[in-house]
């Protein structure tokens, strides 16, 4: 499983990254959390509001910071 955090490095993106890492850790998943900061690549996911969360190349959340619980739910459903 690959989790991508899309954002241009603003504080909100860092918060989302921290939440995603915590969710992965809590669930004990073997998932990679990657940051995507190149806006040409960000656009390819169709995300238009930052920060955005992509799980296995699928855009899940854009424009807000989900908390750890919400990310866990998204991860479990996949």
Partner 1 sequence: MIKALSDYLVFTVFGQSQNSALGKSVEFFIDDSIKILLLLLIITHLMSLVRYYLPIEKIRDFLTSKKFYGLDYFLASLFGALTPFCSCSSIPLFIGFLEAKIPLGVTFAFLITSPLINEVALALFVGLFGWKVTIVYAVSGIAIGMIGGYILGKLNLDKYVEEFIWQIKANNNSLQTKKLPPKQVLAIVSKEALNITKQIIPYLLAGIALGALIHGYVPQGFFEKYITKENLFAVPLAVIIGIPLYSNASGVIPIIQALVAKGIPLGTALAFMMATVGLSLPEALILKKVMKWPLLAAFFGVVGLGIIILGYLFNIILS
CA dihedral 16, 22, 24, 28 (to 10 degrees): 180
Annotation marks residue 13 as catalytic: yes
Closer Cβ to partner 1, 31 or 66, answer by number: 66
Active site residue: 6, 13, 54, 61, which one?
13
46-75 residues near partner 1, rule: CB under 8 A: 46-50, 57-67, 70
CB of 49 to partner 1, least distance (A): 5
Angle of helix 68-77 versus helix 11-27 axis, rounded to 10 = 60
32: exposed, middle or buried (C-beta count within 10 Å: 0-12, 13-18, 19+)?
exposed
Q: Is 32 a catalytic residue?
A: no
Should residue 31 be labelled a site residue for partner 1 when binding is judged by CB under 8 A?
no
What's the DSSP call for residue 8? S
Nearest residue (CB) to partner 1, 28 versus 47? 47
């Amino acid at each position: 499983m690959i989790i991508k955090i899309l954002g241009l490095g603003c504080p909100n993106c860092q918060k989302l990254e921290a939440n995603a890492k915590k969710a992965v850790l809590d669930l004990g998943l073997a998932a990679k959390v990657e940051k995507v900061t190149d806006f040409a690549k960000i656009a390819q996911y169709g995300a238009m509001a930052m920060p955005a969360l992509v799980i296995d190349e699928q855009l899940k959340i854009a424009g807000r910071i989900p908390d750890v619980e919400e990310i866990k739910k998204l991860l479990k459903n996949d």
